[in-house]
Amino acid sequence: MSDFDLVVSGRVVLTDRIIDGGYVAVKNGEISAIGIGKPPGAAERYDFGDSLIMPGAIDSQTHSRSQKNQEDFVWSTRSAAAGGVTTIVDMPYDDDGKLICTAERLREKASEAGEQARVDFALFGTVHPNDGPKHIADMVEAGAAAFKFSTFGTHPDRFPRIPPHTMFECFSEIAKHDLMAGVHNENDEAVRAYISKVKEQGLTDYLSHGLSRPPITETLAIAEVYEIAAATGCSAHIVHCSLARGYELSANYRAQGFDTTIEACIHYLTLDEEDSVRRLGGKAKVNPPIRPRAQVEALWNHLGKGNITVVSTDHVSWSEDRKNNPNMLENSSGAPGLEVLYPLLLKGLDEHGLSLTWAAKLLAANPARLFRLDHLKGALELGKDADITVMKADRYRYDPSESGHNVISWSPYEGMELPYRVEATFLRGQQIFDGAKKVSAPGTGKFLRPRSKTATRSFATV
């Protein structure tokens, strides 16, 4: 009788080192042994040679339902499985008239997502401006992993602005439950003023979006969020930052003893205004905007210093007709990324001479801690869920329509040469992607609840 259910062999990537000729052994869906040399016996064995054995990624920011009747969890989690993402954390701004701002709506979404999901998932909750913190405690009880706010009003009901005094009240309540408050960081008044200015000048080209949301609109919001966090003792997280200055602010507040974290979406580490936005137009429109190449490289410098907490996708699969308007400002904001999150980050690490262990920190260990899921997820570590992604060194040009794992056929990363491809994905010890066409069935994924309150947390930065 075998000691283990599953053993995978290859180059095992941990947060602090890489084990050449290593293996990970699994029993009852959990990691039971990690070693080097000849692997132990198992009912199921995979020898992946020189391929990287990495922790399954946790995407900190997925929008599965931003466009009604478009993607939903059945497709977002299919892209995730094919991209080596074993857990997604879904945003609360769904295009069905139901802002996820009550326990009832959160439970309903968890139930519906559970029928569709091919990977595990956690859920953000949020608040309606008229309610303030009224429903936060009930949403915590229902299993919210974090709470999302916005300093900019995209839509008064579906994606509302939360004013500072209300955010203060909400942060105060969230702090009692030791959860994180994540914030979309654009100053509402400033953005609206700059948008009006751009429109008055008749600007519509690829530069118009960046001009309508200049750097000061982002840093003003970041400072506001972190000051509210400092005053309330709440863990505060900036959900996407395109500017080096934002990472400096976050690090400065941490140095003062506050729990301030910050996220780099993969598009801010990959795309730039001069080439990508000029070439792609609306398909490269995101909020905050893609910045010039100098800012991209400055972000990589912050990554190497440990000033970036997590890397995410901010994934949303808009239909192409909502991304191809020649007037840049009229396009929907956001882009898909789940299928290439891991390959894109590994590409960037290679190109910047950084260790691949950064991927284990930024895509797994740190997001698990951020969402209080580290009792289950986040590392190739004894007792954790056996979520494993195998990355093979194999150069190819990305074609989002080729794999069949995406609801749409476009991507801002189309045609990009990637040095690694996903060879296999395992969720709790079960293979959910075979590197080609086979993916797990809807309903495979589980709804994840955060752990109970704890006194200590630390993020992997070195």
Same-domain pairing of 323 and 205: yes
Q: Do residue 117 and residue 69 come from a single domain?
A: yes
- From 320, 341, 370, give the residue that closes a domain: 370
Residue 295 lies in a domain: yes
Are the CB atoms for 284 and 32 separated by under 8 Å? no
Residue 375 in any domain: the answer is: no
CB 48 within 8 A of CB 9: yes
What does the alpha-carbon distance between residue 134 and residue 19 come to, in Å, rounded to a whole number? 49
Range of the domain at 392: 4-53+383-433
End-to-end, the C-alpha distance of the chain in Å comes to 41
Pick the range with the lowest mean pLDDT from 179-193, 228-242, 383-397, 444-458: 444-458
Residue 448 is assigned to a structural domain of this protein: no
462 compared with 173, residue with greater pLDDT? 173
116 and 260 together in one domain: yes
- Tally of domains within the chain: 2
pLDDT of residue 156: 80
Give domain status of residue 100, yes or no: yes
Read off the CATH number of the domain in which 102 is found: 3.20.20.140
CATH assignment of the domain containing 43: 2.30.40.10
- 425/290 same-domain check: no
Average pLDDT across the chain, whole number:
96
Q: Say if residue 101 is in the same domain as residue 198.
A: yes
User: How far apart, in whole angstroms, are the C-alpha atoms of residue 431 and residue 74?
Assistant: 17
Residues 78 and 22 in one domain: no
pLDDT tier at 233 (50, 70, 90 boundaries)?
very high
Residue 97 has a pLDDT of 84
Interhelix angle 188-200/215-232, rounded to 10 degrees, is 170
pLDDT value for 457: 55
Instruction: Work out the pLDDT band at 462, boundaries 50, 70, 90.
Output: very low
Q: Is the pLDDT of residue 74 over 50?
A: yes
Judge if 271 and 139 occupy the same domain. yes
Question: In this predicted structure, what is the pLDDT of residue 459?
Answer: 64
Residue 153 has pLDDT above 90, yes or no: no
Torsion of CA 319, 321, 326, 330, to 10 degrees: -70
Q: How far apart are CA 213 and CA 247, in angstroms?
A: 18
pLDDT digit string, tens, across residues 77-111: 999 999 999 999 999 999 988 899 999 999 999 99
Share of the chain above pLDDT 90, in %: 95
pLDDT at 155: 83
